[in-house]
């Protein structure tokens, strides 16, 4: 079953999800690029920041989800950015771009390490390729979902669903340096303080757990969600001031050889 994305659900924690994008963008040294592309732009709220940073550039946001592109096209400030439905695995730019950004997207593409040479080839000499991926697949927010989905009641429905996957910074660094890029690589663990009922479930149900939840039939999903919420609440307890969600992210900023 192909999953779909819900822009409203995704934007529940827009500030927390947006901070890594800003940290990534801060390390891109482009001065006055003519063309900027955001691969996997989602609902477009962050793509507009690229137009703020480089107001003279032609900025394009691409995403494989029609739902996300519809939300992006209808968002405030969308007049400064073009949005199009496109699959980054097949996308090719008609002309080399000066800045190519991908924020929290490549983890959904199996074997995305093999895509890096083609993505770097889309960038003009001296241009910039920058991306950020979650590096927290070993955390309870992911392992609990995987363990529960593998139980007999659910396994037949959840087998083969899309799950995020990424590599350590050194792996990406080696791959991009091998392409002749000058690479700035790092990782950061954010401690997000979340509030509201079942906040970690709300977070993951908009991203990493969404394909699993959508794969379940209507008669099984409520029980799965109830058990999932309970296990997450044990792994991420309420601390009086909120629920702390540690979230490791991996960053790459590569300048293509001139």
CATH number at residue 137: 3.40.50.150
Q: What is the pTM of this model?
A: 0.92
| pLDDT reported for residue 207 | 86
pLDDT average, residue stretch 177-201:
97
pLDDT at 124: 98
In a domain, 1, yes or no: no
- What are the backbone dihedrals phi and psi of residue 228, each rounded to the nearest 5 degrees, phi first? -60, -45
As a whole number of angstroms, the distance between CA 1 and CA 61 comes to 26
Q: 41, 64 in Cβ contact below 8 A?
A: no
Least trusted range by pLDDT, from 49-53, 110-114, 206-210, 239-243 = 206-210
Summarised one tens digit per residue, pLDDT across range 201-250 is 999 998 889 999 999 999 999 999 999 999 999 999 999 999 999 999 99
Please report which residue ranges of 131-248 form alpha helices under DSSP H.
140-149, 152-158, 169-177, 199-205, 210-215, 221-235
Residue 176 has what DSSP assignment? H
Q: Which pLDDT value is given to residue 2?
A: 56
Query: Can you tell me the mean pLDDT for 172-192?
Result: 98
Q: Supply the pLDDT for residue 250.
A: 98
Q: Indicate the pLDDT class of residue 73, thresholds 50, 70 and 90.
A: confident
Return the DSSP state at 82: E
CA 112, 75, 208, 84 dihedral sign is negative
* Buried/exposed code over 165-196 (b: 16+ C-beta within 10 A; e: otherwise): bbbebeebbebbeebebebbbeeeeeebebee
Per-residue pLDDT for 11 more than 60? no
Please report, for residues 26, 167, 206, the alpha-carbon distance to residue 8 in angstroms, rounded to integers and kept in the order given.
Answer: 27, 28, 9
Note whether residue 2 is domain-resident.
no
Give the number of residues written for the chain: 258
Long-range contacts, 31-34 (Cβ 8 Å, 24+): 32/56, 32/57, 33/57, 33/97, 33/98, 33/99, 33/127, 33/128, 34/58, 34/98
- Give the chain's domain count: 1
**pLDDT over 60 (residue 72):** yes
162 found inside a domain: yes
Chain mean pLDDT for the chain: 92
Q: How many percent of the chain have pLDDT more than 70?
A: 93
The answer to whether the CB of 20 falls within 8 A of the CB of 103 is yes
Residue found under tokens 């955001």: 38
Would 206 be classed as within a structural domain? yes
Domain containing 165 equals: 7-255
Specify if 29 maps to a domain. Answer: yes
Determine the pLDDT at residue 1: 46
Percent of the chain's residues with pLDDT above 90? 83
For the segment 100-126, the average pLDDT, to the nearest whole number, is 96
Of 12-26, 46-60, 177-191, where does mean pLDDT reach its minimum? 12-26
pLDDT given for residue 7 in this prediction = 54
């Amino acid at each position: 079953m192909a999953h779909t994305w819900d822009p409203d659900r995704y934007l529940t924690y827009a500030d927390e999800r947006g901070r890594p994008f800003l940290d990534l963008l801060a390390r891109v040294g482009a001065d006055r690029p003519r063309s900027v592309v955001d691969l996997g732009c989602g609902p477009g709220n962050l793509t507009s920041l690229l137009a703020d940073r480089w107001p003279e550039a032609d900025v394009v946001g691409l995403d494989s989800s029609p739902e996300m592109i519809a939300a992006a096209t209808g968002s405030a400030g969308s007049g400064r950015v073009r949005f199009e439905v496109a699959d980054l695995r097949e996308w090719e730019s008609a002309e080399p771009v000066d800045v190519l950004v991908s924020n929290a997207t490549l983890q959904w593409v199996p074997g995305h390490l093999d895509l890096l040479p083609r993505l770097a080839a889309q960038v003009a000499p001296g241009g910039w390729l920058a991306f950020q991926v979650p590096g927290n697949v070993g955390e309870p927010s992911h392992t609990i979902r995987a363990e529960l989905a593998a139980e007999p009641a659910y396994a037949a429905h959840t087998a083969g669903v899309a799950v995020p996957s990424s590599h350590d910074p050194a792996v990406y660094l080696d791959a991009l340096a091998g392409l002749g890029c000058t690479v700035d690589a790092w990782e950061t663990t954010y401690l997000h303080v979340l509030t509201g009922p079942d906040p970690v479930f709300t977070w993951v149900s908009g991203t990493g757990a969404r394909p699993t939840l959508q794969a379940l039939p209507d008669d099984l999903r409520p029980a799965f969600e109830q058990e999932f919420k309970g296990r997450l609440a044990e792994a991420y307890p309420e601390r009086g001031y909120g629920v702390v969600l540690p979230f490791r992210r991996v960053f790459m900023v590569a300048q293509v050889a001139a």
